[in-house]
Amino acid sequence: MTLLAIDGNSILNRAFYGIRMLTSSKGVPTNALFGFFNIYLKEAAQVQPDGVAVAFDLRSPTFRHKAVASYKANRKGMPEELAQQLAPVKELLRGMGVTVLEAEGFEADDILGTLARICTEHGEDCVILTGDRDSLQLVGEHVRVDLATNKETIPYTEERFREEYGFAPVHLIDLKALMGDSSDNIKGVPGIGPKTATGLIQTYGTIEELYAHLDEAGLTKGAYAKLSGGKASAEESKWLASIVKDAPIPQDPAAYRLKEPDKESVSALLTELELFKLLDKLKLEAAPVQSKPEPDAPAISLCKVVQPFDRSMLDGLTDREQPVDFLLREDTLYIHTGTCICTTREQGLILAFLASGCKKRSFDAKPVYRYAFAADSGLTGLCFDGAIAAYLHEATKASYEIPALCRSFHLPYEEDMGDTADIAALPGLCDALANKLEAEGLTRLMEEIELPLVEVLASMEHTGVLVDQDGVRRFGDALSGEIRQLEEEIYTLAGKQFNIASPKQLGQVLFEDLEIPHPQGKKKTKTGSFSTNAEVLEKLRGAYPIVSLILRYRQLTKLNSTYVAGLLKTVAPDGRIHTCFKQTETRTGRISSTEPNMQNIPVRTELGKEMRKFFVAPRGRILLDADYSQIELRILANLCEDANMQQAFLSGADIHASTAAQVFGVPREAVTPQMRSAAKAVNFGIIYGIGAYSLSQDIGVSVREADRYIKRYLENFPRVEQFMTRIVEDAERTGFVSTLFGRRREVPELKSHNKIQQAAGRRIAMNTPIQGTAADIIKIAMIRVYRRLAREQLDARLILQVHDELIVEAAVQDADRAAVILREEMEHAWDMAVPLTAEVGKGESWYAAKG
């Protein structure tokens, strides 16, 4: 048999710190649990074990702690959010038929060592899954250690271990005896580092053999003195590092065979924790939840009566006061009348229903609008969208689907109803979501911004933007030619050909073959290869011509593969790109897009900006481009009510130059371009909670100088710091932050014991009210532009939204009027203490219109 032995605490810790904080709707943390079982299921799928045992530490001291008081004395206690997940992990493992092992006085490592010994003695195979290198000492003929790292899981056999370390796995304890282990507070021999220790163990194997031949080892006086004086410490350290193999656990490998799972208990617990993705992976259905109904709340029963929909039913639906729930899936219309479910595939009847005057509720209605637009028809009366409502209620979900949402709200959902399961559940789900929005003060946001926006986005997708495909191809050919030339120049400077795209080969060429000093002064990755990321290469750009060529090569290859070849793949038969705008994806409320991602069209470099030339207007038409000027800074000035900042905007001054004058204490006319650039970085950095180190990296000054800039900024704009502090404090108290329009975002990171996650939570709390408010305002502007163009019957259509920028395609004769509408509606989308400004450009391409 094959036994999979798992280091429970190690994998659970790795999952906890590797996955952002997740909680159930009741606030129960679940990130470590979710990550642990994802790792376990992936490993089990690869190993295909006959038995599984998971070893955990107990809180009580072990024989090592009792013998050496300093052992692991530097370890911090388990964070409360992690401790809460320990019991359900064990409960789920047992429910899945997995053996959970704990032994009083022993560590989980000792249990793993004992399992390895038992399997070896019985001639069975053991695979140990852990994130702790200590277990590598257990590798043997029948024992493999799968070491989980941040990037991958590395399988260690005897052969691989010897290749990496140069000695047998068992002698890892001797290596630790010399070099120590700070994580376990094992002292080793003071002053003996990894390099010296490794060389000695490669030569002598054990510390006993080393000390027996210490006088003949050819050591320097310093090393000899350290080893001579540190013998007792080395012996104690080896004892502490040695995994024992006699923990009191069952000695027969058959005891660890997988048992029949208790599907009901597993389903019940995962349902309670709202871990529905794990349910899906385990191919289990959610358990029926026994929850107390609201007082006087009617019980929900699913309608199962299905009949064809015919035209005679339209009048009856139109006369209804209550909204009609419907779905359109793969050209089939499903309508819930309250007493039955009606279906039809007849397009004329579908369009008649969509255009009818009855109020309607649906789920993900944007494709419905596109269906209607494609038939030169429309959708009227939409008063609620379940997918949008679910997003507003909880913006941090990865996806929004009716079955999962029903489970979250403890609503009935019957999969055996097949195609009608979703429509049967929709009325109850829409009611529950509507109640949530009302309770959370989100109804107005839904009705006045998000719901009207659905039609606008559908129209933009339907219209699309024309692409100059020949121009894109010529641009790609030019890029390919320059890429080939760059390759030859790089090969010449390197003295050989190599894979420039391979970080490992590139690192070898730059930092070994050419002996360029690495900015970080040492090898970065655990595999021994040099880091060649953009940050590293940028520091070397000016001093080494090959580095400048490599950075240019990377820029061109990405541009060519992603934005040239990728763009051409998405052009439809009508010559236009019909990107898909995502309304329920970002956590701040911003719109995103896919196929292609228009938000990522490069604009920071001149070469990247060339891409805008290929988005064009047809003959007889023109593109209008309007971009909000510094909208997030204007929102900050409005929200924080800082008089100095507001006055800078009200006066029409250059905000960055005005900020520079105040930060650097010089008259406005004395501000240099460098001062303005630094002030601009601070202005925008403050919104994202930037620190002194990050600012120093951005503008090329010392950390001390960057810290001085930030402090001067906050002294001159005191209400900014007060606002940011208040936002974070409110978020810590309530668990969420809000935009000016009430949009919410939960910030569980603020409650984490992990300092890095806490800092991320503070940045989220500071930025979301500003970025989210900007997203709301641009949505309002889109709705107003769309409606006014239609109301004035202009031959002009809103076709693109990219961050704070709107693009309209208009007939030449209507372009001037459309430009006025575009500017007016953007600038008057919302009245604030400081004005919103938008400049409109015109041109035959996006590039020309942008100016």
Per residue in 675-698, pLDDT (tens digit) is 888 888 888 888 777 888 888 877
pTM, to two decimals: 0.76
Place of tokens 């009792």: 66
Strands 805-811 and 615-616: unpaired
Domain ranges of the chain: 1-161+246-258, 167-242, 303-464, 467-572, 632-773
pLDDT at 75: 67
**Cβ contacts of 733 within 8 Å, gap of 6 or more:** none
Q: Give per-residue pLDDT as tens, 546-595.
A: 999 999 999 899 888 888 888 899 999 999 999 999 999 888 899 999 88
Would you state the pLDDT for residue 292?
Answer: 45
Q: How confident is the model at residue 806 (pLDDT cuts 50, 70, 90)?
A: very high
Choose the most confident range, by mean pLDDT, from 182-191, 663-672, 782-791. Answer: 782-791
Strands 341-344 and 306-308, by their bridges, are: parallel
Supply the angle between the helices 755-791 and 451-463 in degrees, to the nearest 10.
70
Position 225 pLDDT exceeds 80: yes
> What would the two tokens of residue 648 be?
């800078």
pLDDT at 828: 95
Handedness of CA 673, 674, 677, 679 (dihedral sign): negative
Q: Give the pLDDT mean for 350-372.
A: 95
3-state DSSP helix/strand/coil % of the chain, to nearest 5: 55, 15, 30
| 371-380, 745-754, 758-767: which is most confident | 371-380
Which has more confidence, 325 or 232? 325
- pLDDT value at residue 526: 45
Strand order in the sheet with 838-843: 796-802, 805-811, 621-628, 838-843
Q: Do domains 167-242 and 632-773 have the same CATH topology?
A: yes
**pLDDT value at position 295?**
45
* CATH superfamily, with its number, for domain 467-572: Taq DNA Polymerase; Chain T, domain 4 (1.20.1060.10)
Give me the count of residues in the chain.
851
Whether residue 176 is predicted with pLDDT greater than 90 in this model: the reply is: no
**520 vs 3: which has the higher pLDDT:** 3
Q: How many Å separate Cα 578 from the centre of its chain?
A: 26
What's the pLDDT score for residue 291? 44
Q: 66, 67, 51: which is closest to 101 by C-alpha?
A: 51
CATH T-level topology, domain 632-773 = DNA polymerase; domain 1 (1.10.150)
How is residue 72 annotated by DSSP?
Answer: T
Q: What pLDDT does 486 receive?
A: 96
Confidence of residue 74 (pLDDT cuts 50, 70, 90): low
- For residues 604-612, average pLDDT: 81
Confidence label for 4 from pLDDT (cuts 50, 70 and 90): very high
Cis peptide before 596 (omega within 30 of 0): yes
Share of the chain above pLDDT 70, in %: 97
Query: Would you say the C-alpha torsion 547, 552, 556, 558 has a positive or negative sign?
Result: positive
Q: Is the pLDDT of residue 293 over 60?
A: no
Cα-Cα-Cα-Cα dihedral sign, residues 812, 814, 819, 825: negative
pLDDT at 447: 96
Superfamily of chain region 303-464: Ribonuclease H-like superfamily/Ribonuclease H (3.30.420.10)
Residue 523 has pLDDT above 60, yes or no: no
> What pLDDT is stored for residue 146 in this prediction?
94
Any idea which of 346-350, 605-609, 803-807 has the lowest mean pLDDT?
A: 605-609
pLDDT for 741 equals: 94
Q: Write down the mean pLDDT value for the chain.
A: 89
Angle between helices 703-716 and 673-687 (to 10 degrees): 70
CA distances from 248 to 9, 104, 251, 273 (A): 19, 9, 8, 33
At 266, the pLDDT band (50, 70, 90 cuts) reads very high
According to the model, what pLDDT value does residue 824 have? 97
Contacts with 376 (C-beta within 8 Å, 6 or more apart), sequence order: none
Q: What percent of the chain has pLDDT over 90?
A: 54
Rounded to an integer, what distance in angstroms lies between the CA atom of residue 5 and that of residue 420?
44
**20 vs 264, more confident:** 264
Q: Which CATH architecture has domain 167-242?
A: Orthogonal Bundle (1.10)
pLDDT value, residue 522: 55
So what's the pLDDT on residue 685? Answer: 84
Residue 605 in this model has a pLDDT that exceeds 80: no
Q: Rounded mean pLDDT of 805-821?
A: 97
Q: What is the pLDDT of residue 226?
A: 85
Superfamily of domain 1-161+246-258: 5'-nuclease (3.40.50.1010)
